[in-house]
Structure 1
Amino acid sequence: MGEFEFLGVEDICAEVDTATAVCEVAMALLADGSWAISIGVSGNDAKNTATSGLKASARPGQVYASIEPTVSSGVGVKAAKDKAKKDSANIVAAFSLLSFVLGKRTSEGREATSLVRSGLNQNEAAEELGISKQAMSQRLQAAGWAAEGAGWQLAVNLIAAANPDSDI
């Protein structure tokens, strides 16, 4: 991941090389709850593509996506633009669902998912919190941990598919 560049008083930008890294950054910013996020997928100028997608009316917890249409042999300009628009909408939808899951978490759920996300298994995380494995399992279930994992993988796949040059 590239370094963050300050674009303005409240705006930062970083170039990210992989779909996985894009999702990791977006999830961290969504979990914080204070950021509106714009994802740009472009073979030429991702910064311009991303910043053009962020609206002045953007609200924290919202994700925007802009994809530069890729015209290849056998695909016309209109078809490429339609595909880019559809891919953008799908990425936004995946992150909207993830944002909803993150927004419904209790402090206990955030604590439990944070420990598991950091690499601990459920037993280790339960021990860290001083709770039973069953209580840990219940916290993760209530926090939507399985939905987060599925949504995260969907977002990674959508971003990777939108950028054929990407390494997942």
Structure 2
Amino acid sequence: MRTRKIPRRSLALAAALAALPTVAVASPAVATTPGAPPVRFVELPSSPLPSDHGQRTINVTYRNDSSTDRTVAPQVLVESPANGPFLSPSSIRLEVLAPDGHWRTLPLGNQTGTLYTRLVPAKLVLHGHHTLNEQYRLTVIGRAPAQGTIEPRVALYA
């Protein structure tokens, strides 16, 4: 049987690549699996939708009173009037204040007249006895219905 010598660099690279998945899985970034649904929501005070071209600041605050870390995700829902007209994502601009002090526009999902921010990109680990403080800015663009509700909440994961 014929044998072949493998250069040491190739062996070192193969060993490093084989170790990568183990390192990624073992890192303590998120305590839940990506597809796991929230176990419950903490509803925060709602407010009415501002009128045309109106702007509203929304503060999302949640304290983890536990001594253990908890995976959470802030979310903002914008509810249309019960009987329409339904809001569209082009009617609303929602921004979040980034850690660098700049406002970053968030994409909005739309389902049955409810606009919402996505949970998965917002997931983070909130350490025990720490407080989550997120600030959002909602602007009504163009002609949106004068009725509607802004409903912030925090998703809690197991």
More strand by share: 2
More helix by share: 1
Structure 2 length-normalised TM: 0.27
Q: Relative CO higher for 1 or 2, CA cutoff 8 Å, sep ≥ 6?
A: 2
Structure 1 length-normalised TM: 0.26
